[in-house]
Amino acid sequence: MGLNEAMNYVLFNNPVSSTMWSMASHGAKAVGLKPKAIGQNAATHSSAVVQQALPPMWKLLGRNRHIIRLAGLSGAAAVILGAYGAHYHFVPKDDDMQERDPRKIFETTNRYHFIHTLALLGAPLARHPLLTTILMISGTTLFCGTCYYVAFTDDRRVVKFTPMGGFLLIFAWLSFII
Do residues 62 and 128 both lie within one domain? yes
With beta carbons less than 8 A apart as the criterion, state whether 138 and 171 touch. no
Give the span between the Cα atoms of 6 and 43, in whole angstroms. Answer: 23
Structural domains counted in the chain: 2
Last residue of a domain, one of 33, 52, 71: 52
Do residues 75 and 150 both lie within one domain? yes
Do residues 121 and 92 both lie within one domain? yes
Do residues 152 and 102 both lie within one domain? yes
Do residues 21 and 75 both lie within one domain? no
Do residues 46 and 77 both lie within one domain? no
Instruction: Tell me if the pTM is above 0.75.
Output: no
Do residues 80 and 152 both lie within one domain? yes
Do residues 28 and 87 both lie within one domain? no
% of residues, the chain, pLDDT over 90: 49
Burial call 101-113: b when 16+ CB within 10 Å, e when fewer: ebeebbeebbebb
pLDDT tens digits for range 53-112: 777 766 777 788 889 889 999 999 999 999 999 989 888 776 655 667 899 999 999 999
pLDDT tens digits for range 36-60: 766 665 555 555 666 677 777 667 7
Do residues 89 and 39 both lie within one domain? no
Do residues 169 and 99 both lie within one domain? yes
Q: What is the mean pLDDT of the chain?
A: 84
Give the span between the Cα atoms of 82 and 67, in whole angstroms. Answer: 22
Residue range of the domain that includes 135:
57-176
Give the span between the Cα atoms of 118 and 62, in whole angstroms. Answer: 19
Do residues 33 and 98 both lie within one domain? no
Give the span between the Cα atoms of 162 and 147, in whole angstroms. Answer: 7
Do residues 76 and 33 both lie within one domain? no
